[in-house]
Amino acid sequence: MTVRLWDGTGPVLADTSAWMQARRDPKARSLLLAAIERGNACWCWPVRYELMVDARGPEGIAAVERTLDGLREIQVGRSVQRAVLSTMRELAAGGSHGAHRYPLTDLTVAAAAQDAAIGILHFDQHLERLGDHLGVDVRWIAMPP
């Protein structure tokens, strides 16, 4: 498998897994912070939900809100929701039993990125497969295990 590692350039939709990896990997954190400063890191609603759910209380929630409010939002509208459904249909038709059963957040992130014509920054092999299926540029924020 060829690992497509992010070089820190270009606008990207940062998946929750990218934020989590940046939490523990100084190099990944440095790259993500630089992209945030340039205005190149984007968010979408499922990622915001996940980061907020992981916060233990109001202070953590406020930190998520302040950070994401300053970044570009990738819209998750009706067309993206429709794209999630059609992606599941395609995966189910083209694979083995349960081939469409991806986490809904990953499906939505991938469909939103496709709709906005933007790449995905991640640390989640589900998004590698979804990106390949949808023709979305997907990049690891760090070398996978």
According to CB under 8 A, which residues from 31 to 50 bind another protein? 32-33, 36-39
Residue 71 or 88 having the CB closest to another protein: 71
Near another protein by CB under 8 A, which window of 5-13, 18-26, 82-90, 109-117?
18-26
Q: Which of 6, 12, 13, 21 binds another protein (CB under 8 A)?
A: 21
What number of other Cβ atoms are within 10 A of residue 70's Cβ? Answer: 11
Q: Is 95 in the site for another protein (CB under 8 A)?
A: no
Q: Is 101 in the site for another protein (CB under 8 A)?
A: no
Interface residues with another protein (CB under 8 A)? 17, 20-24, 29, 32-33, 36-39, 54-57, 59-60, 63-64, 66-67, 70-71, 123-126, 144-145
